[in-house]
Structure 1
């Protein structure tokens, strides 16, 4: 039995995945993302996403959350901060924030990670997920599709060359107009 590798990301109608595009987070979307974190015990990121998340969601040394965070963002950070993080990076010498760096072949490391006991692995980012999708390692895809066309930024699963068949598991819409679409590898 392997634990599931779940990829979840915000994406615009034209397939862009930049954290600067889409609708601004609101209470409903932050509650959704907090619940998504709770589905897993491990977070798997590449360097860029790890550094982005650490800069925004790591508890400061003062132990006090920054003033810019509202209650929904604090709830998200409270779940993310103590979680185990696994980072795929060849440019970082070391990581902290409850993190370990993958040594060697990423595909082999993720295959080993999936065999560990746990509730699941939450995968984020753009580049690493595309590489793992191309290898057939992602078990579930969750796309929060924002009703925005941005025309710029990294594209969802760019670089995947072979067709992947997915089965729709569930779909619903936020009050903002963004829709959640969850798929399982077919």
Structure 2
């Protein structure tokens, strides 16, 4: 069975985006960017909701060709392009960049993918991850908590019907002040 990991940058007050989907507060430092690049390298399959897919696919297909791209950004762009991706959306017609589109029941498809042999899967996007959370499909949570309060917006965690017990497996503070925490779901 594959492991499903949900991780994103979030503000100290728990939001992954401020109102109007503003993520300007979350510009990663070199260390944070390297952390996420390492996470991507450890992932075999990325699962995206529509909004995060649009954000990622608007930049990373050519991120390595930007004149000011750092070596880490070049590496990340190449990894991102090459990896398999599944995009969940009822409004998109097509996806590209080594991705396939799922328009049906996301929880059923994620459950099917988890049951397959293979490596780690990562899920991104609050709505998609929220559905997986409520269905009890998330095995690990990775939080990169920035020292900023945004006051509202899109929360990292969704409302749940039941408690989810977690075990802290890692905590680390980056020089930029971001605190990285990893929790495994206790079953």
Tell me, yes or no, whether TM beats 0.5.
yes
Q: Which deviates more from structure 2 when the two are superposed, residues 99-108 or residues 131-140? A: 99-108
- How many residue pairs end up in the alignment? 182
Map Cα deviations across residues 13-32 of structure 1 (whole Å, 9 max, x no partner).
11110261544212111110
Indicate the residue corresponding to 2:130 in structure 1: 130
Equivalence map 1:147-162=2 (5 Å): 147-162=147-162
Contact 1:22–1:148 at 8 Å: present in 2 too? Answer: yes
SS at match of 2:65: coil
Could you say if the C-alpha distance between residues 24 and 93 of structure 1 is closer, same or farther in structure 2, counting changes exceeding 3 Å?
Answer: closer
Contact 1:40–1:118 at 8 Å: present in 2 too? Answer: no
CA distance in 2, matches of 1:43, 1:15: 22
CA distance in 2, matches of 1:38, 1:65: 20
Equivalence map 1:72-83=2 (5 Å): 72-83=72-83
Q: Which stretches in structure 2 are left out of the alignment for 5+ residues?
A: none
CA distance in 2, matches of 1:40, 1:117: 14
Q: Which deviates more from structure 2 when the two are superposed, residues 171-180 or residues 72-81? A: 72-81
Cα deviation for residue 68 of structure 1 reads 4.1
Contact 2:12–2:148 at 8 Å: present in 1 too? Answer: yes
SS at match of 2:160: coil
CA distance in 2, matches of 1:40, 1:48: 20
Contact 1:170–1:181 at 8 Å: present in 2 too? Answer: yes
CA distance in 2, matches of 1:121, 1:23: 23
Contact 1:6–1:121 at 8 Å: present in 2 too? Answer: yes
Where is the helix percentage greater, Structure 1 or Structure 2?
2
Cα deviation for residue 131 of structure 1 reads 1.0
TM-score, scaled relative to structure 1: 0.91
Q: Which stretches in structure 1 are left out of the alignment for 5+ residues?
A: none
TM-score, scaled relative to structure 2: 0.91
| Structure 1 ranges of 4+ moved more than 4 A | none
Equivalence map 1:1-186=2 (5 Å): 2-18=1-17, 20-59=23-62, 65-186=65-186
CA RMSD of aligned residues (A): 1.6
